Amino acid sequence: MCGIVAYVGYESIADRILIEGLKILEYRGYDSAGIASFIDQNIITVKTKGKVQQLEEKLQIQKIQTSIGIAHTRWATHGEPNEVNAHPHHVGEVTLVHNGIIENYYELKEELMSKGYNFQSQSDSEIACAYIDYCYQRYHDKEEALIKAYQTFKGSFAFAILFADDDQNVYAMRKDSPLILGTSATKTFIASDIQAFLHYTKQYIVLEHNEIARCSREGIVIKNLQKEFVKKEIQTAQMENKDLTKNGYAHYMLKEIHEQPYAIKETIQAYLSNHLKDLMDQFPDLKKFKQIHISACGSAMYAGMIAKVLIEKKARIPVQCVVASEYRYMDPIFQEDTLLILISQSGETADTLAALHLAKQHHVPTLAIVNVENSALAREADYVLYTHAGVEISVATTKAYCTQVALLSLIACHLSYIHGYIDAEEEKQLLDEFKQLPILMDKLIHQDTYKEIATHLYQKEHVFLMGRGLDYALSMEGALKLKEISYIHCEAYAAGELKHGTISLIEKDTPIIVLCSDDSIYEKTMSNMKEVKARGAKIIVLATEDLPIAPDTYDVRLTIPKTDILLQGILTVIPLQLIAYETANMRGCEIDQPRNLAKSVTVE
Ligand code: F6R
């Protein structure tokens, strides 16, 4: 979602730093971009619809050289993506960039219009800008103006703010939208993501709610809303600069798919020692929970669907898996021993955070499975288990999803053991099998059939996926991958469900990808394959090596290594990712930044 970068330093290189930062944040998804900086004590703003590249070209024409500025990539929420709605916004003395949504914008707009303010854009951010200006005109004090605005704004926000009469400082404040402050001896940064300034410093501070930061060349001063100084811990980012390059791959997504064996190794080895003792030391109460809720969005929620299958099968604990945007509105029933598991790559997804907040109100323990260190979810949940996927740049998740499934599988395995469904020896055997995963994954990644399968799909308008049990949960992820990056309409079905309606959509050569990895039900799925084949469907079956799938039921077969069900999903998803990738590539799609999508969805 929208990206913020701001810089103030001794060198007059703000334009370069801000453009570099915006390019790094491009992966978050956006449709316009802009920059504002002080030049000879005046604030100059340059904006464009479209890409950061276009903004860079505009800036080169103006030859802007400055040591203080703010910049933004906007993912449209209020108002269409165009230059007027793009940030920075400027009203009176105030110029700002904003992430989030000001929910009471209409009320504020009416109040401001009655006081003589006029608005150029359709954006709630321009209203926020005017409101801060109004408070500044009234109190003649920047801190006071920001505090008043903070207390008035409803919704979520992260701001970087310039005042026209102050070319020394950039101000920042946030609520529910992330904002990180970077610090070094000569440069200070404000950004939505550490990556934006990682090239210059690894030292950072997390700005919290109810805090106002003043960032200057000399450093950062933070106060709370009572104007008291707040002492903050300076942290060191673990990620490396090399995580931010494509490393020779055509796309980040392809690179990240190839990184999966390593990401899985990094994630599981942190927990595998001593029969998962390290994992359980971080989470001592696991045995007491009689009911588990899982809440997340998109692919993270599909990882949750896999966990539901595994935990219920292996440990017989009832699991409810609910999309986070619904969770808080469905009035979930919490029993005494309910655990809520929240899954998120970014750890900043607004709906997932809202699910966490609801659980906290009800004193329900929460476990977050998160990839981004120190993200809001990681900071606020009772327990945190990190996936170690590394930085994920491609909007469509691959390695983060895969590591989420791996970590949830380890939890299912351990629950099975502590509830007496497997003994210590069986648990050990399963954990040994986990250690083999990276090798099996690597082989699957390097199979050469994906391009050929993509030739059956790339010119189609509709594709279906089907499977039963675990394979159904995986089909959901496979369908999401294909539609989000190739823009082909794709739906996943429980294999037995197709004939209850959807089979009417099957015509000659409609592609159906069938997942088949469970020997106890594969014959049922084969019957469903026959039903659609009889109606002309083209069947691509991804089946485990042990299953004797009748050759007259399919057109193309891809074989997947057979493992225990706990590990199976981590393997089966790889062909789905690569088929989606190759199909999107053949269609010439913008794979790493699909249209309309954002990486980190920080609004409801
Ligand atoms: C799909 C995808 C999204 C995310 C979802 C949740 O490829 O990436 O569906 O999984 O937006 O994001 P996080 O995991 O950051 O909470």
pLDDT tens sequence across 416-459: 999 999 999 999 999 999 999 999 999 999 998 999 999 999 99
- For tokens 């934006």, name the residue: 196
344 C-alpha vs ligand 1 centroid, how far in Å?
7
Q: Give the integer Cα–Cα distance in Å for 39 and 35.
A: 12
Q: Please report the atom of ligand 1 found closest to the CA of residue 601.
A: 11
Nearest in space to 413 (alpha carbons), one of 345, 317, 296: 317
Buried residues in 316-342 as b, exposed as e (16+ CB within 10 A): ebebbbbbbbebbeeebebeeebbbbb
The finding on whether 387 has its CB within 6 A of some atom of ligand 1 is no
Whether the pLDDT of residue 280 is over 90: the answer is no
pLDDT band at 282 (very low <50, low <70, confident <90, very high): confident
Bridge partners (DSSP) of residue 229 are 223
Query: Could you read off the pLDDT of 488-524 as tens digits, one per residue?
Result: 999 999 999 988 888 889 999 999 999 999 988 989 9
pLDDT reading at 145 higher than 70: yes
In testing the pocket of ligand 1, which one of 601, 602, 604 has its CB within 8 Å of the most ligand atoms?
Answer: 601
For atom 7 of ligand 1, which residue has the closest CA? Answer: 396
Q: Is the beta carbon of 480 within 6 A of some atom in ligand 1? A: yes
Q: Which domains are delineated in the chain?
A: 3-243 (3.60.20.10), 245-444 (3.40.50.10490), 447-604 (3.40.50.10490)
244 has pLDDT over 80? no
163-198 tens-digit pLDDT: 999 999 999 999 988 899 999 999 999 999 888 999
Q: Are 539 and 555 in contact (CB under 8 A)?
A: yes
| Residues 570-579, mean pLDDT to the nearest whole number | 98
pLDDT of 64 higher than 70: no
- Residue 472 CA to residue 112 CA, distance in Å, equals 53
Banded model confidence at residue 150, pLDDT cuts 50, 70, 90: very high
pLDDT of residue 61: 66
Which residue has its alpha carbon closest to ligand 1 atom 5? 298
Is residue 63's pLDDT more than 70? no
Q: Mean pLDDT lowest for which of 185-199, 203-217, 242-256, 502-516?
A: 242-256
pLDDT digits (tens, 9 = 90+) for 120-138: 999 999 999 999 999 999 9
Among candidate residues 156, 158, 138, the one with its CA nearest the CA of residue 148: 138
Residue 570: band (very low, low, confident or very high) from pLDDT cuts 50, 70, 90: very high
Confidence of residue 466 (pLDDT cuts 50, 70, 90): very high
Residue 216: what pLDDT? 96
Sign of the alpha-carbon torsion through 18, 20, 23, 28: negative
**pLDDT tens-digit readout, 300-324:** 999 999 999 999 999 999 999 999 9
DSSP state of 420: T
pLDDT at 595 over 90: no
Q: How confident is the model at residue 299 (pLDDT cuts 50, 70, 90)?
A: very high
Q: Is 297 in the pocket of ligand 1 (CB under 6 A)?
A: yes
Residue 274's pLDDT band (cuts 50, 70, 90): low
243 Cβ partners below 8 Å, 6+ apart? Answer: 390, 391
Strand order in the sheet with 94-102: 89-91, 94-102, 155-163, 166-175, 211-216, 219-224
pLDDT for 95 beyond 90: yes
Output the average pLDDT for the chain.
93
Q: What residues act catalytically?
A: 2, 599
Task: Give the mutation target among 252, 297, 476, 581 for probing the ligand 1 site: most ligand atoms within 8 A of CB.
Answer: 297
The finding on whether 593 has its CB within 6 A of some atom of ligand 1 is no
Residue 396 CA: which ligand 1 atom is closest? Answer: 7
Query: Please, is 62 exposed, middle or buried when counting C-beta atoms within 10 Å of its C-beta (0-12, 13-18, 19+)?
Result: exposed
Confidence of residue 275 (pLDDT cuts 50, 70, 90): low
The residue whose CA is least distant from atom 16 of ligand 1 is 344
Q: Is the CB of 156 under 6 A from ligand 1?
A: no
Q: Is the pLDDT of residue 559 over 80?
A: yes
Ligand 1 centroid to residue 503 C-alpha, Å: 30
| Residue 62 scores a pLDDT above 70 | no
